[in-house]
Structure 1
Amino acid sequence: MKSVNDILKSNVLKTKTNINNPKPVIDYPNSTDKVACSICDDRGIVLEGDIAYPCSCMQSRKIENQFRHARISRELMNCRLEKFRFDFYSDNMTDIHRDGAIRALKAAKSFVNDCLRTPYGLGLLFTGPVGSGKTYLAASIANELMDSHLKVLFLVVPDLLDELRATYKSDLNELDLLDTARSVPILILDDLGAHNYTDWTRNRLYSIINYRLNEQLPTVITSNLSLDEMEDYIGIRTTSRIIQSSRIFRLTVEKDIRLQIYQERER
């Protein structure tokens, strides 16, 4: 019987070692194909004699798959609560912007700790104008929970509505999409705003919120709408259930944080 080493050697490309680079460099005879990892040739394992062990690239693949499953964008992957900047909330006259940011950050940290203790509980609703840090807080919560290996789904509401509309007259399975959003342990709905809601999409959004309320599954929502505006756009019954299932915090700024970051970058 062939050993593991013999079996794998028969399928592995020859390698050569670069003296200045301890990592193996793949030799590709008669081929222009490349691999992502030159250590294991994308097989995920490294051989030392007859012993095989996981390649270091597997951890980065695991992290990448985790973010892909959560559907969080690459831009938001590095958001963390400890990086939250209060200097964006400075106010020459009062501390009202900073005070709101302090309360929102404290609530975000408390929410993460609560999720680590129990899968059930209240969610969060962050409201405020565009560029006030709502998405940053929501993404930070998602990343910190995923760091602790909890299952999180991060959905941008306009994208969710587009996907739901796409299932209306197609072979896509609407129930799969709704079931995932309804039953995932932690759901984040980003940018619940003044979109083009129809009765059909309002009913689907209600289905998600109502199910999670009944099952006490926590949801984090960001919105630039006031509660009155929310009732106008998504309906009274959905808004009522969001209020019932959430702790509500408002973020305000004198100047859009994205603009502040741009000005910093251009100095």
Structure 2
Amino acid sequence: MNQRLPTDDLRVIVNARVKAAFVPIDFRYVTAATSPVRADQPQVYGLMERYIDTFYDAEHRVKSLYLFSEATGTGKTTTASALANEYLLASVATSLAKGERPTMRPAYFLDVNALQTEYNSFTRPHVPPAMAQAYAASYYEKLDIAGTTPFVVFDDIGVRGATDGFRGDLHSVINKRVTAQLATVYTSNLPLTQMQQVFDTRLYDRMRDLCAEVPFTGESKRGRRN
């Protein structure tokens, strides 16, 4: 990073972008080096180190990843959060090295289960209009952010039991990212092949072509969250 920038100023710049990324509080400052999952998933983290190197290469398009394990609690969310933080730091460092103002939101974390809950909160019957309007505004703002931010995590993309409306909204935002070739990290307990049942074959084919599937092994470490 720019050594001429005072440390306090740099901290303010990074912290503002960390908050805008909405990475879960437990993982807000986790990096690949400090991740508690690193020791349990050495092969994954060897790959992650090489992947993070591409964040600093302007000539290299950052690819998308699909972090998968059937078991919960194997470290997918922790790792995805670390990658979002690493991308954020790389974006700030690259901008400062060029003498440019860093992008305010280079990375974004979207909890798909929480998003579905928010969707249900304004589409279920008998919701007071003012409350439904507030939930809807928040929901669509998240979708807008997820559709355009350079690096986005979609955490727990399985969406079992989702309504057609919610699935359609998620399909649209993912399709937008795939079309623009924006870097996306998905976490799921479903293998990538099952995304053709969650969405449709065409979007699945495009996700598969642009995504590297990264399997996580081992049993749940749920005491540390996944």
Do they fold alike, i.e. is TM over 0.5?
yes
Find the counterpart in structure 2 of residue 94 from structure 1.
Answer: none
Residues 32 and 38 in structure 2, CA contact (< 8 A), matched pair in contact too: no
Q: Which segments of 5 or more consecutive residues in structure 1 lack a partner in the other structure?
A: 1-54, 89-100, 263-267
Which of these residues, 11, 23, 27, is aligned with residue 72 of structure 1?
Answer: 23
1:201 matches 2:166:
yes
1:160 matches 2:111:
no
Which of these residues, 45, 60, 64, is aligned with residue 123 of structure 1?
Answer: 64
1:195 CA displacement: 3.5
1:44-59 equivalence runs, <5 A: none
Find the counterpart in structure 2 of residue 257 from structure 1.
Answer: 221
- The one-letter code matched in structure 2 to 1:170 is Q
For the residue of structure 1 that corresponds to 2:109, the secondary structure is: strand
Judging changes above 3 Å, is the alpha-carbon distance between structure 1 residues 117 and 167 closer, same or farther for their aligned structure 2 residues? farther
1:58 CA displacement: 5.9
Find the counterpart in structure 1 of residue 95 from structure 2.
Answer: none
Find the counterpart in structure 1 of residue 191 from structure 2.
Answer: 226
Determine what percentage of the aligned residue pairs are the same residue: 23
For the residue of structure 1 that corresponds to 2:74, the secondary structure is: coil
Structure of larger gyration radius: 1
Q: Could you tell me the TM-score, scaled by structure 1's length? A: 0.62
2: distance between equivalents of 1:246 and 1:142? Answer: 16
Residues 209 and 241 in structure 1, CA contact (< 8 A), matched pair in contact too: no
1:249 CA displacement: 1.0
2: distance between equivalents of 1:202 and 1:166? Answer: 15
Higher relative contact order (CA 8 A, sep 6+): 2
Which of these residues, 192, 208, 211, is aligned with residue 246 of structure 1?
Answer: 211
TM-align CA RMSD: 3.0
Q: Which moved more, 1:239-248 or 1:205-214?
A: 239-248
- The one-letter code matched in structure 2 to 1:221 is Y
2: distance between equivalents of 1:105 and 1:56? Answer: 29
1:72 CA displacement: 0.8
More strand by share: 1
More helix by share: 2
1:142 matches 2:91:
no
1: distance between equivalents of 2:153 and 2:64? Answer: 9
1:112 matches 2:75:
no
After superposition, what is the alpha-carbon deviation per residue over 1:197-247, rounded to whole angstroms, capped at 9, x for unaligned?
A: 111111111111111111111100110112344333344444333212211
Aligned length: 195
- The one-letter code matched in structure 2 to 1:113 is D
Residues 158 and 191 in structure 1, CA contact (< 8 A), matched pair in contact too: yes
2: distance between equivalents of 1:82 and 1:200? Answer: 40
